[in-house]
Structure 1
Amino acid sequence: MYPIKRHEKRWMDKAKLQIHKLCQQSAQQILNEFRPDYMIAIAGGGYIPARILRTFLKRPGAKNIPIQAIGLVLYEDHCSGSGEVAGKEVVRTQWLDFSTLSPEGLIGKRILIVDEVDDSRRTLHYAVTELGKDISAQAEKMGREEETVFGVFVVHNKDKEKVCELPGEVMQSRYWAGETTGDQWICYPWEATDIDDHEGLATAQENIAG
Protein backbone atom coordinates (compact mmCIF):
# COMPACT_ATOMS: atom_id res chain seq x y z
CA MET A 1 0.00 0.00 0.00
CA TYR A 2 1.51 3.32 -1.07
CA PRO A 3 1.42 6.22 1.44
CA ILE A 4 -0.47 8.68 -0.75
CA LYS A 5 -2.29 10.75 1.88
CA ARG A 6 0.44 13.37 2.06
CA HIS A 7 0.11 13.93 -1.70
CA GLU A 8 -3.64 14.24 -2.06
CA LYS A 9 -4.10 18.01 -1.91
CA ARG A 10 -0.82 19.71 -2.51
CA TRP A 11 1.31 17.25 -4.47
CA MET A 12 0.81 15.15 -7.59
CA ASP A 13 3.13 12.48 -8.98
CA LYS A 14 2.84 12.04 -12.74
CA ALA A 15 3.73 8.69 -14.31
CA LYS A 16 5.80 8.26 -17.46
CA LEU A 17 2.87 6.66 -19.26
CA GLN A 18 0.53 9.54 -18.34
CA ILE A 19 2.95 12.12 -19.73
CA HIS A 20 3.61 10.12 -22.89
CA LYS A 21 -0.12 9.88 -23.59
CA LEU A 22 -0.71 13.59 -22.92
CA CYS A 23 1.99 14.46 -25.45
CA GLN A 24 0.60 11.98 -27.96
CA GLN A 25 -2.95 13.31 -27.61
CA SER A 26 -1.81 16.92 -28.05
CA ALA A 27 0.44 16.21 -31.03
CA GLN A 28 -2.38 15.63 -33.51
CA GLN A 29 -4.00 18.93 -32.60
CA ILE A 30 -0.66 20.74 -32.92
CA LEU A 31 -0.12 19.14 -36.33
CA ASN A 32 -3.57 20.13 -37.54
CA GLU A 33 -3.39 23.70 -36.27
CA PHE A 34 0.28 24.68 -36.35
CA ARG A 35 2.76 22.28 -38.02
CA PRO A 36 5.94 23.60 -36.36
CA ASP A 37 9.23 23.84 -38.24
CA TYR A 38 11.29 23.90 -35.03
CA MET A 39 10.83 23.08 -31.38
CA ILE A 40 12.64 24.94 -28.62
CA ALA A 41 12.71 23.02 -25.34
CA ILE A 42 13.09 24.96 -22.11
CA ALA A 43 15.66 23.11 -20.00
CA GLY A 44 15.41 20.88 -18.22
CA GLY A 45 11.68 20.05 -18.00
CA GLY A 46 10.99 20.61 -21.68
CA TYR A 47 13.54 18.09 -22.98
CA ILE A 48 11.57 14.86 -22.61
CA PRO A 49 8.16 16.25 -23.66
CA ALA A 50 9.77 17.77 -26.77
CA ARG A 51 11.38 14.46 -27.69
CA ILE A 52 8.09 12.58 -27.23
CA LEU A 53 6.23 15.19 -29.26
CA ARG A 54 8.72 14.90 -32.11
CA THR A 55 7.81 11.24 -32.60
CA PHE A 56 4.13 12.08 -33.06
CA LEU A 57 4.67 15.30 -35.04
CA LYS A 58 6.71 13.57 -37.74
CA ARG A 59 4.86 13.41 -41.06
CA PRO A 60 5.41 10.56 -43.55
CA GLY A 61 8.31 11.34 -45.84
CA ALA A 62 9.31 14.44 -43.87
CA LYS A 63 12.39 14.97 -41.73
CA ASN A 64 12.23 15.02 -37.95
CA ILE A 65 11.52 18.44 -36.50
CA PRO A 66 14.78 19.92 -35.15
CA ILE A 67 14.89 20.55 -31.40
CA GLN A 68 16.89 23.45 -29.98
CA ALA A 69 17.23 24.17 -26.25
CA ILE A 70 17.34 27.19 -23.98
CA GLY A 71 17.96 27.22 -20.24
CA LEU A 72 15.87 29.48 -17.99
CA VAL A 73 15.71 29.47 -14.20
CA LEU A 74 13.46 31.44 -11.86
CA TYR A 75 15.26 33.01 -8.90
CA GLU A 76 14.21 35.32 -6.12
CA ASP A 77 15.74 38.78 -6.08
CA HIS A 78 17.82 37.73 -3.06
CA CYS A 79 19.65 34.61 -1.95
CA SER A 80 18.87 32.75 1.24
CA GLY A 81 21.36 30.82 3.29
CA SER A 82 20.46 27.63 1.41
CA GLY A 83 20.96 29.21 -2.02
CA GLU A 84 18.64 30.81 -4.54
CA VAL A 85 14.92 30.18 -4.20
CA ALA A 86 12.66 29.72 -7.21
CA GLY A 87 10.47 32.77 -7.72
CA LYS A 88 10.72 36.16 -9.34
CA GLU A 89 13.65 36.74 -11.68
CA VAL A 90 14.22 34.81 -14.91
CA VAL A 91 17.89 34.02 -15.47
CA ARG A 92 19.36 32.62 -18.69
CA THR A 93 21.59 29.61 -18.20
CA GLN A 94 21.67 28.61 -21.87
CA TRP A 95 20.60 30.42 -25.05
CA LEU A 96 20.56 29.91 -28.79
CA ASP A 97 23.79 30.38 -30.71
CA PHE A 98 22.50 31.88 -33.94
CA SER A 99 25.90 31.47 -35.60
CA THR A 100 25.53 27.66 -35.51
CA LEU A 101 22.03 27.52 -37.01
CA SER A 102 21.41 26.88 -40.70
CA PRO A 103 21.70 29.88 -43.06
CA GLU A 104 17.95 30.53 -43.00
CA GLY A 105 17.93 30.13 -39.21
CA LEU A 106 14.65 30.59 -37.36
CA ILE A 107 13.50 33.60 -39.35
CA GLY A 108 10.06 33.10 -40.83
CA LYS A 109 9.62 29.72 -39.14
CA ARG A 110 6.84 28.28 -37.01
CA ILE A 111 8.46 27.65 -33.63
CA LEU A 112 6.91 25.57 -30.85
CA ILE A 113 8.25 26.35 -27.36
CA VAL A 114 7.94 23.32 -25.06
CA ASP A 115 8.02 23.12 -21.26
CA GLU A 116 6.70 20.77 -18.61
CA VAL A 117 4.41 23.16 -16.73
CA ASP A 118 2.82 26.61 -17.03
CA ASP A 119 2.82 27.83 -13.44
CA SER A 120 3.29 31.59 -13.03
CA ARG A 121 3.92 31.97 -16.80
CA ARG A 122 7.05 34.07 -16.14
CA THR A 123 9.36 31.62 -17.92
CA LEU A 124 7.14 31.18 -20.99
CA HIS A 125 6.61 34.94 -21.25
CA TYR A 126 10.36 35.50 -21.11
CA ALA A 127 11.05 32.82 -23.72
CA VAL A 128 8.51 34.12 -26.24
CA THR A 129 9.47 37.77 -25.70
CA GLU A 130 13.25 37.39 -25.78
CA LEU A 131 13.37 34.86 -28.61
CA GLY A 132 11.12 37.16 -30.61
CA LYS A 133 13.46 40.09 -30.02
CA ASP A 134 16.56 38.12 -30.98
CA ILE A 135 15.05 36.62 -34.12
CA SER A 136 13.75 40.04 -35.19
CA ALA A 137 17.25 41.46 -34.71
CA GLN A 138 18.67 38.68 -36.89
CA ALA A 139 16.05 39.34 -39.56
CA GLU A 140 16.82 43.06 -39.58
CA LYS A 141 20.54 42.36 -39.84
CA MET A 142 19.92 40.10 -42.85
CA GLY A 143 17.35 42.36 -44.48
CA ARG A 144 14.57 39.79 -44.22
CA GLU A 145 10.91 40.44 -43.54
CA GLU A 146 9.32 37.00 -43.07
CA GLU A 147 7.15 36.66 -39.98
CA THR A 148 8.29 34.24 -37.29
CA VAL A 149 5.37 32.60 -35.51
CA PHE A 150 5.47 31.17 -31.98
CA GLY A 151 3.35 28.48 -30.38
CA VAL A 152 3.54 27.01 -26.87
CA PHE A 153 3.01 23.48 -25.57
CA VAL A 154 3.11 22.50 -21.90
CA VAL A 155 2.35 19.13 -20.40
CA HIS A 156 0.42 20.76 -17.56
CA ASN A 157 -1.19 24.16 -17.19
CA LYS A 158 -1.97 25.15 -13.61
CA ASP A 159 -5.39 26.78 -13.30
CA LYS A 160 -4.34 29.85 -11.35
CA GLU A 161 -3.80 33.56 -11.77
CA LYS A 162 -0.70 34.15 -13.88
CA VAL A 163 1.97 36.72 -13.10
CA CYS A 164 2.75 37.30 -16.80
CA GLU A 165 0.79 36.96 -20.02
CA LEU A 166 1.58 35.58 -23.45
CA PRO A 167 0.68 37.48 -26.64
CA GLY A 168 -3.03 37.32 -27.44
CA GLU A 169 -2.48 35.58 -30.76
CA VAL A 170 -0.57 32.79 -29.00
CA MET A 171 -3.23 32.24 -26.34
CA GLN A 172 -6.09 32.34 -28.84
CA SER A 173 -4.88 29.71 -31.28
CA ARG A 174 -1.30 28.57 -30.62
CA TYR A 175 -1.28 27.45 -26.97
CA TRP A 176 -1.71 23.79 -26.08
CA ALA A 177 -1.69 22.07 -22.69
CA GLY A 178 -1.84 18.31 -22.29
CA GLU A 179 -3.84 18.73 -19.09
CA THR A 180 -5.10 21.53 -16.84
CA THR A 181 -4.56 20.93 -13.13
CA GLY A 182 -5.14 22.68 -9.85
CA ASP A 183 -2.42 24.75 -8.20
CA GLN A 184 -0.48 21.78 -6.87
CA TRP A 185 3.20 20.88 -6.91
CA ILE A 186 3.81 18.36 -9.69
CA CYS A 187 6.56 15.78 -9.38
CA TYR A 188 7.70 14.48 -12.77
CA PRO A 189 9.40 11.12 -13.33
CA TRP A 190 12.60 12.78 -14.55
CA GLU A 191 12.89 14.43 -11.11
CA ALA A 192 12.51 11.19 -9.15
CA THR A 193 15.42 9.71 -7.22
CA ASP A 194 13.55 6.39 -6.95
CA ILE A 195 11.62 5.82 -10.17
CA ASP A 196 9.91 2.64 -8.95
CA ASP A 197 8.54 4.43 -5.89
CA HIS A 198 7.53 7.42 -8.00
CA GLU A 199 5.64 5.30 -10.56
CA GLY A 200 3.89 3.43 -7.76
CA LEU A 201 2.71 6.67 -6.15
CA ALA A 202 1.58 8.07 -9.50
CA THR A 203 -0.41 4.93 -10.33
CA ALA A 204 -2.02 4.84 -6.88
CA GLN A 205 -3.05 8.50 -7.15
CA GLU A 206 -4.48 7.92 -10.63
CA ASN A 207 -6.52 4.96 -9.39
CA ILE A 208 -8.00 7.00 -6.53
CA ALA A 209 -8.75 9.96 -8.83
CA GLY A 210 -10.37 7.61 -11.35
Structure 2
Amino acid sequence: MDVFPLGLWLDLLGTFVFGISGALLAVRRELDVFGIAVLSVAAGLAGGMIRDALLGATPPTALADSRNLLTAIAAGACAFFGHRLLAKLNKPVMILDALGLGLFAVSGCGKALDFGLDPLPAILLGVLTAVGGGAVRDLLVVETPRVLREEIYAFAAMVGAVIVVIGAGLGFSETSTAVVGVVAVVAIRVVSALRGWRAPRAPR
Protein backbone atom coordinates (compact mmCIF):
# COMPACT_ATOMS: atom_id res chain seq x y z
CA MET A 1 0.00 0.00 0.00
CA ASP A 2 1.29 3.48 -0.87
CA VAL A 3 1.64 5.26 2.47
CA PHE A 4 2.48 8.53 0.68
CA PRO A 5 -0.23 8.97 -1.99
CA LEU A 6 -0.24 12.05 -4.19
CA GLY A 7 -2.84 13.86 -2.08
CA LEU A 8 -0.74 13.43 1.06
CA TRP A 9 2.40 14.66 -0.70
CA LEU A 10 0.55 17.77 -1.90
CA ASP A 11 -0.83 18.40 1.58
CA LEU A 12 2.54 18.00 3.27
CA LEU A 13 4.34 20.23 0.77
CA GLY A 14 1.58 22.83 0.98
CA THR A 15 1.64 22.68 4.77
CA PHE A 16 5.40 23.20 4.81
CA VAL A 17 5.55 26.18 2.46
CA PHE A 18 2.48 27.86 3.95
CA GLY A 19 3.90 27.13 7.41
CA ILE A 20 7.12 28.92 6.51
CA SER A 21 5.19 31.88 5.10
CA GLY A 22 3.23 32.13 8.34
CA ALA A 23 6.37 31.85 10.46
CA LEU A 24 8.19 34.48 8.41
CA LEU A 25 5.28 36.85 8.91
CA ALA A 26 5.51 36.20 12.64
CA VAL A 27 9.24 36.94 12.60
CA ARG A 28 8.59 40.16 10.70
CA ARG A 29 6.04 41.14 13.35
CA GLU A 30 8.65 40.35 16.05
CA LEU A 31 6.54 37.64 17.69
CA ASP A 32 8.14 35.17 20.09
CA VAL A 33 8.75 31.48 19.43
CA PHE A 34 5.18 30.60 20.48
CA GLY A 35 3.73 33.19 18.10
CA ILE A 36 5.90 31.84 15.30
CA ALA A 37 4.63 28.31 15.97
CA VAL A 38 1.00 29.47 16.09
CA LEU A 39 1.19 31.31 12.75
CA SER A 40 3.07 28.43 11.16
CA VAL A 41 0.47 25.88 12.24
CA ALA A 42 -2.46 28.14 11.37
CA ALA A 43 -1.15 28.97 7.90
CA GLY A 44 -0.15 25.38 7.18
CA LEU A 45 -3.21 23.52 8.44
CA ALA A 46 -6.26 25.79 8.42
CA GLY A 47 -7.03 25.43 4.71
CA GLY A 48 -6.99 21.64 4.82
CA MET A 49 -9.10 21.59 7.97
CA ILE A 50 -11.72 23.81 6.33
CA ARG A 51 -11.75 21.49 3.30
CA ASP A 52 -12.17 18.35 5.40
CA ALA A 53 -14.85 19.91 7.59
CA LEU A 54 -16.92 20.85 4.53
CA LEU A 55 -16.46 17.38 3.06
CA GLY A 56 -17.46 15.70 6.32
CA ALA A 57 -14.06 13.99 6.44
CA THR A 58 -13.68 13.78 10.20
CA PRO A 59 -11.44 13.98 12.01
CA PRO A 60 -9.62 16.30 9.61
CA THR A 61 -6.44 14.92 8.10
CA ALA A 62 -4.45 17.58 9.96
CA LEU A 63 -5.56 15.99 13.24
CA ALA A 64 -5.81 12.36 12.19
CA ASP A 65 -2.28 12.19 10.77
CA SER A 66 0.46 13.63 12.99
CA ARG A 67 2.71 14.08 9.95
CA ASN A 68 0.79 17.22 9.03
CA LEU A 69 1.23 18.86 12.42
CA LEU A 70 4.89 17.85 12.58
CA THR A 71 5.43 19.33 9.12
CA ALA A 72 3.90 22.66 10.18
CA ILE A 73 6.04 22.73 13.33
CA ALA A 74 9.15 21.88 11.30
CA ALA A 75 8.36 24.77 8.96
CA GLY A 76 8.15 27.11 11.94
CA ALA A 77 11.49 25.83 13.23
CA CYS A 78 13.12 26.37 9.82
CA ALA A 79 11.91 29.96 9.75
CA PHE A 80 12.89 30.53 13.40
CA PHE A 81 16.49 29.50 12.81
CA GLY A 82 16.85 30.38 9.13
CA HIS A 83 14.79 33.53 8.65
CA ARG A 84 17.91 35.62 7.86
CA LEU A 85 18.79 33.30 5.00
CA LEU A 86 15.20 33.15 3.75
CA ALA A 87 14.97 36.94 3.90
CA LYS A 88 17.75 37.18 1.30
CA LEU A 89 15.42 35.61 -1.24
CA ASN A 90 13.37 37.97 -3.40
CA LYS A 91 10.01 38.42 -1.72
CA PRO A 92 10.18 35.06 0.12
CA VAL A 93 6.74 35.24 1.72
CA MET A 94 5.03 36.00 -1.60
CA ILE A 95 6.84 33.19 -3.43
CA LEU A 96 6.15 30.63 -0.70
CA ASP A 97 2.56 31.82 -0.50
CA ALA A 98 2.16 31.32 -4.25
CA LEU A 99 3.55 27.79 -4.04
CA GLY A 100 1.32 26.91 -1.09
CA LEU A 101 -1.65 28.40 -2.94
CA GLY A 102 -1.05 26.11 -5.90
CA LEU A 103 -0.45 22.99 -3.85
CA PHE A 104 -3.60 23.41 -1.78
CA ALA A 105 -5.78 24.43 -4.73
CA VAL A 106 -4.81 21.21 -6.49
CA SER A 107 -5.09 18.95 -3.43
CA GLY A 108 -8.38 20.51 -2.29
CA CYS A 109 -10.03 20.13 -5.68
CA GLY A 110 -8.65 16.61 -6.10
CA LYS A 111 -9.97 15.47 -2.74
CA ALA A 112 -13.36 17.01 -3.48
CA LEU A 113 -13.55 15.04 -6.73
CA ASP A 114 -12.53 11.87 -4.88
CA PHE A 115 -15.50 12.46 -2.55
CA GLY A 116 -17.83 12.58 -5.55
CA LEU A 117 -18.47 16.33 -5.77
CA ASP A 118 -19.44 17.81 -9.11
CA PRO A 119 -16.81 19.91 -10.91
CA LEU A 120 -18.09 23.36 -9.86
CA PRO A 121 -18.32 22.61 -6.11
CA ALA A 122 -14.95 20.85 -6.35
CA ILE A 123 -13.39 23.99 -7.85
CA LEU A 124 -14.93 26.11 -5.09
CA LEU A 125 -13.56 23.80 -2.44
CA GLY A 126 -10.14 23.89 -4.06
CA VAL A 127 -10.15 27.68 -3.83
CA LEU A 128 -11.30 27.60 -0.19
CA THR A 129 -8.56 25.12 0.66
CA ALA A 130 -5.96 27.34 -0.99
CA VAL A 131 -6.95 30.65 0.59
CA GLY A 132 -8.08 29.40 4.02
CA GLY A 133 -4.68 29.08 5.68
CA GLY A 134 -3.45 32.44 4.46
CA ALA A 135 -6.68 34.14 5.56
CA VAL A 136 -6.42 32.73 9.09
CA ARG A 137 -2.73 33.67 9.22
CA ASP A 138 -3.46 37.28 8.26
CA LEU A 139 -6.41 37.60 10.65
CA LEU A 140 -4.26 36.45 13.58
CA VAL A 141 -1.96 39.43 13.05
CA VAL A 142 -4.91 41.78 12.38
CA GLU A 143 -4.32 42.17 8.66
CA THR A 144 -6.96 42.19 5.95
CA PRO A 145 -6.63 38.74 4.36
CA ARG A 146 -4.53 38.78 1.20
CA VAL A 147 -7.34 37.17 -0.78
CA LEU A 148 -9.42 40.33 -0.25
CA ARG A 149 -6.83 43.01 -0.90
CA GLU A 150 -3.93 41.97 -3.11
CA GLU A 151 -3.21 41.12 -6.72
CA ILE A 152 -4.86 38.20 -8.49
CA TYR A 153 -5.06 35.59 -5.71
CA ALA A 154 -8.25 33.57 -5.56
CA PHE A 155 -8.39 33.64 -9.36
CA ALA A 156 -4.98 31.95 -9.52
CA ALA A 157 -6.21 29.22 -7.18
CA MET A 158 -9.34 28.80 -9.29
CA VAL A 159 -7.24 28.27 -12.42
CA GLY A 160 -5.32 25.48 -10.67
CA ALA A 161 -8.55 23.83 -9.56
CA VAL A 162 -10.03 24.09 -13.07
CA ILE A 163 -6.95 22.36 -14.46
CA VAL A 164 -7.47 19.49 -12.01
CA VAL A 165 -11.12 19.12 -13.08
CA ILE A 166 -10.19 19.17 -16.77
CA GLY A 167 -7.38 16.69 -16.25
CA ALA A 168 -9.66 14.33 -14.33
CA GLY A 169 -12.36 14.62 -16.98
CA LEU A 170 -9.93 13.81 -19.77
CA GLY A 171 -8.34 10.95 -17.87
CA PHE A 172 -4.88 12.48 -17.59
CA SER A 173 -2.36 11.30 -15.00
CA GLU A 174 -3.03 12.75 -11.55
CA THR A 175 0.62 13.59 -11.09
CA SER A 176 1.05 15.43 -14.39
CA THR A 177 -2.23 17.28 -13.87
CA ALA A 178 -1.15 18.30 -10.37
CA VAL A 179 2.20 19.59 -11.63
CA VAL A 180 0.57 21.64 -14.39
CA GLY A 181 -1.99 23.01 -11.94
CA VAL A 182 0.60 24.07 -9.37
CA VAL A 183 2.87 25.65 -11.99
CA ALA A 184 -0.06 27.59 -13.45
CA VAL A 185 -1.10 28.94 -10.05
CA VAL A 186 2.44 29.99 -9.12
CA ALA A 187 3.01 31.64 -12.50
CA ILE A 188 -0.25 33.61 -12.38
CA ARG A 189 0.28 34.66 -8.77
CA VAL A 190 3.90 35.76 -9.21
CA VAL A 191 3.36 37.57 -12.51
CA SER A 192 0.27 39.35 -11.15
CA ALA A 193 2.26 40.48 -8.10
CA LEU A 194 5.20 41.72 -10.16
CA ARG A 195 2.98 43.58 -12.63
CA GLY A 196 0.46 44.81 -10.08
CA TRP A 197 -2.55 43.15 -11.70
CA ARG A 198 -5.68 43.38 -9.59
CA ALA A 199 -9.25 42.18 -9.80
CA PRO A 200 -11.76 44.91 -10.78
CA ARG A 201 -12.97 47.17 -7.98
CA ALA A 202 -16.20 49.07 -7.62
CA PRO A 203 -16.07 52.51 -9.30
CA ARG A 204 -15.80 55.49 -6.96
Question: Which TM-score applies when normalising by structure 1?
Answer: 0.25
Question: Which TM-score applies when normalising by structure 2?
Answer: 0.26
Give 1 or 2: higher strand fraction.
1
